[in-house]
Every structure is written in structure tokens, then in C-alpha cells.
Amino acid sequence: MSNSTTWVGIDDAANKFDVAVFFNQDENPHEEFQVMNDPDGLGRFVKKLKSLPGDIRCVYEAGVLGYTLQRFLKKKGISCDVAAPSLTPRRPGDRIKTNKRDARKLAKLYRAGELTSILIPTEKQEALRDLLRAREDTMEDLTRRRHRLSKFLLRNGLRYRIGKAWSKGHWQWMGNCRFDDANRQMVLSQYRRSVEQTQEQLKTFDEAVEEIAKQPAYVRIANHLMALRGVKALTAMTIIAEAVDLKRYVSAPAFMDSNGLVPSENSTGDTTHRGSITKTGNCHLRRVLVESAWHYRHSGVASRTLKQRRKGLPEEVVRIAEEADRRLTKKFTKMVHRGKRSTIAAVAVARELAGFVWAIGQVS
């Protein structure tokens, strides 16, 4: 059994894991059991794995527990991969789902090479990702709380009509809003307070991201990415945190595919049909790329601020950024003139922008 391989599928959960063990190419599991997710249970699990014959290969899908189990097993000298759930093959007719069946399925698919493994970030890289995702969550909270406040005022016949919402004038107008009813006045005060607190949280996150972008570990690649239009410190750091290493992608199309920006396809015989983008992969990267793509709807001439950001950068980085200006502006304009909706044009431009991001990553 020295050349054998033991395949271990794990369906993880907060309290306990379901485990299925397969020897070599066996059709049925050699053993199935549950592991309590506590120090004692994990200790017994490691002893159990080390008692199995041959090369031990474990796998589980990324979920609520993140990479903690993988890091724990790695420290104990046990190989473990984390599979991307969105890319796990699923049978359309399989309507029965249990943790036990999922553990079996993962082990078999892993053995067949049908799972797509996730790159495991270091704890420092994951901490940076957590910071940027927390900032994104705060932005969503701010939007919701603003909506609650504005809709509350609208329900009570108060609407700001002078200028833009959430401008200085808007805040002054809300400060003058008063209700005779004490309950309504309290609602207004608390809604305003929640918006102000969330804005302060967002400001704190933004300042932290700006400072991190200046650290030696990130300043070079961040400055290179900021040569692109629509990419400032926040977007650059999101790309760095989510992609981990742009050089790990073998090609620009591979990077586009990892963000779900490529068209879906349903082709048969001589018929080819391409649909909307797949939206599989990293949604955080996809979001910032689409947001940046909107900047290419304007003139291709670089602004004074953009020229200043490009000053002193390597010639190759500036060349890539200037080529992006010409090509993506032309593409956005051409698609809109052909009658495409601007939202569709922005996604198409985001796909090509991902290629320019990848190119800069290769020379940085």
C-alpha cells in the first residue's frame, strides 16, 4: 500500500464534519464518520488520518469556516485542498442533498480531478482581504441607512428638491426638519445618527486603505495599477487583495474567466449561442472592474490628475495604460453608438480592462 492514495472528502459545518474515506479507485467508501469541530475532535481526526495507508489527500469546499481547517491540517503535515463551490460539478437530476452524500461526492470528484482548487492566501493576505470586504459591507450599510432615512422623510411629505442628495445643502435641510410628534422626531434623529456613524466608519476604512497602499509590500504594484483610468488606491488594493498574485494567471483570458466576465455559451453542432457573462468566480474583483470601466465612457485624453499618477512609472506600465485609454474608450463609444445599453458596454469594457490589469501585473 506504499504507492496507494487515500482520498478524503469532508463536508464541513460549524459544529461537526462529515467525512468519507476512499482507498485508491474503490467505488464505495472504505469508511464514513463524523468529526466534532472542537480541539479534541480535530485531534482525534488527525490521528485517524495519519493511521490511514498511503498518500492522504483531503478536500472540502470553501464555506463558513474559511481556510482554518486547511491550515490546521497543513500544520499537522496532511495535504488538504479547498474547492471552489461555484465550480463543483452537479448532476441536474440529483435532488437529494445530505452532508454524508456531499462528502462522498467531493472525494470522488477530487479523485477524478474534477474540482477546481482555490489558492490559499496567507493569513496576512486574508487579513487585508477582510479589511477591504468589511469596507464594502460598510458601504452597503450606508446605502441601506440612507434609503431608510430618505424614504422615512418622503413618507411624511418631506423631499429635498434644491440640489443633489447627501450634499452639504441636503444635510443642512435635514437638520431643519422637525416633527411635532415625539416618536417621529426620535426616528428622524436615530436614522440621521446611524447614517453619520456609518459615514465615519467608511472614512476610517478609507484612510486605512490609503495608508496600506503606501506600505513597501504594496506601493509598487498599487502605483502601477493606478496608472489605469478609474483605478485609485481602493480599487488597486481590492485587486491586490482578491487576486493575491496576478502572475499566477497563465493568460489574460484566464484572469477574465476567474472574475466571471466572459460570456456564457450554449453551443451544439454548427450552432453557437453566447449569452450573458457567467458571473462565476470572484464577485469583488468583478465589481471594481465594472466600476472602473465606466470611466472609459469619457474622452480618451488623460486628465491632469491621471498624468500625475503616471509620472515616474516604468515606460511599459505607462504604455499599457495609454493603450487602455485608446482601446477601451473607443470600444465603449462604439458599442453605445451601435445601440447597446451603456450597462452592457461597461461590462464588455470591464472584461478587456481585466486584460490590461493582468498585463500590468506581469511587468510589475
Q: Kindly give the confidence (pLDDT) of every residue in the chain, 364 residues in length, as a single tens digit, with 9 standing for 90 and above.
A: 457 999 999 999 889 999 999 999 999 999 999 999 999 999 999 999 999 999 999 999 998 889 999 999 999 999 999 999 988 998 888 888 899 999 999 999 999 999 999 999 999 999 999 999 999 999 999 999 999 999 999 999 999 999 999 999 999 999 999 999 999 999 999 999 999 999 999 999 999 999 999 999 999 999 999 999 999 999 999 999 999 999 999 999 999 999 999 998 877 777 778 888 999 889 999 999 999 999 999 988 899 999 999 999 999 999 999 999 999 999 999 999 999 999 999 999 999 999 999 999 999 8
pLDDT of residue 2: 55
Q: What is the pLDDT of residue 271?
A: 75
**CATH fold group of domain 5-112:** Nucleotidyltransferase; domain 5 (3.30.420)
SS (H, E, C) the chain: CCCCEEEEEEECCCCEEEEEEEECCCCCCCEEEEEECCHHHHHHHHHHHHCCCCEEEEEEECCCCCCHHHHHHHHCCCEEEEECHHHCCCCCCCCCCCHHHHHHHHHHHHHHCCCCECCCCCHHHHHHHHHHHHHHHHHHHHHHHHHHHHHHHHHCCCCCCCCCCCCHHHHHHHHCCCCCCHHHHHHHHHHHHHHHHHHHHHHHHHHHHHHHCCCCCCHHHHHHHCCCCCCCHHHHHHHHHHHCCHHHCCCHHHHHHHCCCCEEECCECCECCEEEECCCCCHHHHHHHHHHHHHHHCCCCCCHHHHHHHCCCCHHHHHHHHHHHHHHHHHHHHHHHCCCCHHHHHHHHHHHHHHHHHHHHHHC
pLDDT score recorded for residue 92:
83
The domains of the chain are located at 5-112, 123-212, 219-265+274-363
- pLDDT at position 6 is 97
